[in-house]
Amino acid sequence: MATEQKPRGQKLSSMDMWLRGISPNASFAPPTAADYADANSWAARPGALAAAAIAPKGHSVIGSDEAAADVFFVHPTTYVGTANWNEDIAAPLEETRAGEIVAELIMPGQAGLFNGCCRIYAPRYRQATLAAFFKPCGDGRAALDLAYSDVVQAFRHYLEHDNQGRPFILAGHSQGTCHLMRLLAEDFDEALKPQLIAAYLLGFKVTEEAASRFSYICAPAEAALEPASFIAFDSFLDGTDALYQSDHAEHRFSEGWKARAGKPVHGINPVNWSTHEPSSEAEHMGFGVVDVNEPSLLAGLYMPGSDRAVGLKATGLVAPVTPGVATYIDEHGYLKISLPVQKFMNAGIFGGNYHNRDVALFYMNLRANVEARVAAFSC
């Protein structure tokens, strides 16, 4: 994709410079496809959970034979490479920066939410690079289509070879949710609905138009244990105008791509599971924070440039971090939070958008809800 040029003498904004830094300097060309019969095509699976087997102190990981349900988890964007529009997943998971982040941060910090009650299936896929969301174009859309095709292939492999009629959860964050929304709308067999416990569609602004495409499969959740529903929220600091904040990402519908900016969304409060009642700090069960071997390695992980691994290793999850935050769903469906008192929860946050902390902010409340939903479904 050719980089947009500014008129001579006009200074680039910091956003322009950052966008130029993450924009691929080559046209779209698909890397080698994954083979989901190959164990290396999964970031986590039963018998090979790796860091997805990490649980908070005081909590245990259920064995595969004991788990009453499965989760098919699709990870968010970790690739900010500029050589290609899609991550090349031919290399081992731990050898690239994007793979390392999936393995050592996303698996324990997000997929691990489900390890107390579910078998975890988390595919690697040729994720689109971050620039695809910030500057929609033909190459970026092609990259997202390719990533989606991998997710569909992985899901079909899971159904054919592993599911065996078991109850399951769909879960994702950010780019992962982008693909799961499309999966529900285009490639989800309605015959599977009785097996679907819930869909955790976090961090990708589920608008009314988007939800209408799959509401016959699962409707927006309005309570903690509502069956066959989807759970969605997008986290912003109280006082932030979430509705009109700059947003170039798009939803993919059967008839094409449509902007999602400036539209109300479906949201539920993950603390008290209400769509209208606020919750207090006292109701918040604690943040989920991944311990790593060298905290200094976290700085600059998502900066454009080299995709080489830096040696990051997850060593555990700290005990649930409190105090938490007060929360409510605003009139447009966005989740508003009070300012966390912990400095590390506010690091790297711009414009009051806590997108990168959606799961960490509510880790313990989400974990409790997942376990309660599985238990209720199994009764």
Tell me the pLDDT of the chain (379 aa) as tens digits. Answer: 344 444 455 565 566 677 778 889 889 999 999 999 999 999 999 999 999 999 998 899 999 999 999 999 999 999 998 989 999 999 999 999 999 999 999 999 999 999 999 999 999 999 999 999 998 899 999 999 999 999 999 999 999 999 999 999 999 999 999 999 999 999 999 999 999 999 999 999 999 999 999 999 999 999 999 989 999 999 999 999 999 999 999 999 988 999 999 999 999 999 999 999 999 999 999 999 999 999 999 988 888 767 889 999 999 998 899 999 999 999 999 999 999 999 989 988 889 999 999 999 999 999 999 999 999 998 7
Residue 14 lies in a domain: no
Residue 3 lies in a domain: no
> What is residue 267's predicted lDDT score, i.e. its pLDDT?
98
Residue 11 lies in a domain: no
Rounded CA-CA distance 105/166 in Å is 28
Strands 235-237 and 335-337: parallel
Residue 4 lies in a domain: no
With b meaning 16 or more CB within 10 Å and e meaning fewer, what string describes 296-332? ebbeebbebeebebeebebeebeebbeebbbbbbbee
C-alpha closest to that of 208 among 274, 163, 258, 272: 258
> What is residue 350's predicted lDDT score, i.e. its pLDDT?
87
> What is residue 3's predicted lDDT score, i.e. its pLDDT?
44
> 138-158 and 175-186 helices cross at what angle (nearest 10)?
70
> What is residue 37's predicted lDDT score, i.e. its pLDDT?
97
8 Å CB contact between 90 and 352: no
Phi, psi of 25 (to 5 degrees): -105, 25
Look at the chain and count its residues.
379
Rounded CA-CA distance 277/301 in Å is 37
Rounded CA-CA distance 12/209 in Å is 35
> What is residue 219's predicted lDDT score, i.e. its pLDDT?
96
> What is residue 239's predicted lDDT score, i.e. its pLDDT?
96
Task: Match 């982008």 to its residue by tokens.
Answer: 178
Residue 55 lies in a domain: yes
8 Å CB contact between 271 and 284: yes
Residue 253 lies in a domain: yes
8 Å CB contact between 342 and 321: yes
Residue 245 lies in a domain: yes
The total of structural domains in the chain comes to 1
> What is residue 4's predicted lDDT score, i.e. its pLDDT?
44
3-state secondary structure of 353: strand
Q: What is the DSSP letter of 151?
A: H
Residue 124 lies in a domain: yes
Rounded CA-CA distance 91/81 in Å is 14
Q: Which residues pair with 366 in a beta bridge?
A: none
With b meaning 16 or more CB within 10 Å and e meaning fewer, what string describes 205-239? bbbeebbebbbebbebbeebebebbbbbbbbbbee
Return all residues near 167 (Cβ < 8 A) that are at least 6 apart.
Answer: 68, 69, 70, 195, 196, 197, 374, 377, 378
Task: Match 């008129």 to its residue by tokens.
Answer: 7
8 Å CB contact between 39 and 123: no
Which domain does 129 fall in, by range?
20-378
